[in-house]
Amino acid sequence: METVFLISHKEYYFYPYEDACLQITKNTRRYYVIARLCSTFGLALPKWCWDRNAIPEEVKTIVITDAVFQPSLYKALKKEYHDKRFVLYHMNLLRGYNRCFRSYCSEAYTFDQSDAEQFGIAYRHTPYTDRIRKMDCAIETDALFLGRDKNRLQKIRQAKQTLEAAGLRTRFYVYETKDAELRMDSYMSYEDYLDQVMRAECLVEINIPGQSGCSLRFLEALFFRKKLITDNAAIRQDPWYRRENVYILGEEEDRPLQEFIKTPYSSEGLDLSELVFSNWLHGFE
């Protein structure tokens, strides 16, 4: 492979299904303390803190996600692989803690169109894998949500109330929240989450404040032919948006949710090849 994608947790999302997704650092408290201390003092991360053997010799481009980016790690990588091209890809909004990353890595992209315009960096759509096969399962719920609190608990509660008031069967799982009704105390593996996805009619997307870029929920909905219920009005500008498949909360009072669910899924003109992770990654070459 000529391009790799550095991530923080190999077990997260679709990463286990893609060989080019590499985790080269540990996720221990000790590692983060060392990485941040080295970053604070302008030092490169010690070689024993990351796996140099994980990156194949033939790699020409290293794409680093903001989730794993540390100035100290970047300096260590640049020192070890001085002949490689480095690209930063923001999978999160540009906020105080990660906005400075661009001062280290000059070539940067973001998943969020609004951030791209505001901060003057390039935009690239969120990708997904085509290596997970859709299973035929009996539908057990109408609307499924899984996510962390991320200062959007009130929006999550309102969405759940709106869906249930419309007669929909809901399953909402929220990490790191004090809400006893929504709280999920133990981590759900992505494989177990996908099992829930296959048994749901629709996926629910609640963006964090200020986010206009689509989350992985939209990609999962596209690749598994599930409908999406979202609060992201900007999704109308997404090339893969289809009104038959997407319901925007708070903006479609004239369209009953029950009617939306019963309308057949439309795949007309939905070519997902550009979003397939392997193709998307080749786009950096």
Token pair 């003057």 is found at 120
What pLDDT is attached to residue 111? 96
**pLDDT tens per residue across span 197-209:** 999 999 999 998 8
For residue 122, which of 134, 132, 133, 112 has the smallest C-alpha distance? 112
Of 48-52, 100-104, 128-132, 263-267, minimum mean pLDDT range = 100-104
d(Cα 81, Cα 125) in Å, to the nearest integer? 27
What pLDDT is attached to residue 178? 80
d(Cα 20, Cα 279) in Å, to the nearest integer? 12
Over residues 243-249, the mean pLDDT reads 97
User: For a pLDDT cut of 90, what percent of the chain falls above it?
Assistant: 81
Mean pLDDT estimate for the chain: 93
pTM: 0.93
